[in-house]
Amino acid sequence: MSKDAGAVTIRVTAHGVSRTGPDPGMNYAHDFHAGNFADIIKHAALAATVAHLARKSKPFVVIDTHAGAGLYDLEAPESLRSGEARGGIFRIADRPATDEPALIAGLRRALDAVDDGRGAIGTRRRYPGSPLIAALAMRPGDRLIAAETVDPVRARLERVLAARAPRPGPRIEVLRHDGYGVLKACLPPGERRGLAIIDPPFEEVDEFDRLARAMEAAIERWASGSYLIWYPVKRADAAEDLARRLGRALPPHVEGLRAELSILPPGSTADGMTTTGLIAINPAWPVEEGMADLLDWCAHRLAADPKRPGHWHVSPLPRD
């Protein structure tokens, strides 16, 4: 069954994928976290990758496995309660762009497209999520697949994409299915070119294992695709195991990049998430070339203590 919502096609069932994902009653809500330091890293890489794909004339696909609501109000009670945007996007958007690394440019363009710069708290009130960032950089003939299991969140996403996706723009499908199942069902895509972004909430105890198994299967089915995989670094051993499993899954000709940023100085600890990780498989060259500059800049600009920069590292995925 499907229905039209402006430029968006909303498919309630597709590909024979059953709904086996997170319980919609789970308490994760990205409204609390939108625009935080982790979003800056993954969304800068996302915007740069989609822009790079759009440089060639052939169409491409973007698959967003855990899409979220698509647009977030940074002056909503949830965002104000967490205060995470103050340590993230407000530290970027409220300052001149003169010293920004190249990878920030695409994210800033997406911000400009959804906001008038007249927020009451900072110069921004709205922050775009990954499906909207992708859609804004896509063209007619390209295709966006966004999976979201939580009904109220998916309804918000449908409204956002119907109202704000470019027209004419990409073909858009919003799916009511588990993102890992959608990833399996959609690969390899007919376009052959494209990106999958995998950004789970990490509230399930076995999420790292589910993610690794899904990616091992995805790489086997579509080794030529680009992937961006986000993860929180709360347990170093879990992050290390994920990197090693994905590195072992890569064919010899496929490159993998692992990037991590902590907003704390080396040796410091604090409650909550203070380190974010991103794995890029078949990374677009702007991401490969610019990630170190982005992380170094963010380690200073987004540090929890402005007088004590955070730390970061970039390395190839281990293959042993």
Just list the catalytic residues: 199
Considering only CA atoms, give the Rg of the chain: 18
CA distances from 241 to 29, 208, 209, 215, 247 (A): 26, 9, 9, 13, 10
Structure tokens at 81: 């309660």
Q: Is the dihedral of CA 138, 127, 112, 226 positive or negative?
A: negative
Q: Rounded to 5 degrees, what are φ and ψ at 286? A: -60, -35
Token look-up 């109202």 returns: 163
Edge-to-edge, what's the strand order for the sheet holding 143-147? 2-5, 8-11, 171-175, 143-147, 61-64, 194-198, 226-232, 275-281, 256-262, 311-316
**Residue 106 in tokens:** 């695409």
The DSSP code sequence of 227-285 is EEEEEE-S-HHHHHHHHHHHHHHS-TT--EEEEEEESS-TT---SS--EEEEEEES--H
Closest CA to 230 of 25, 24, 36, 31: 36
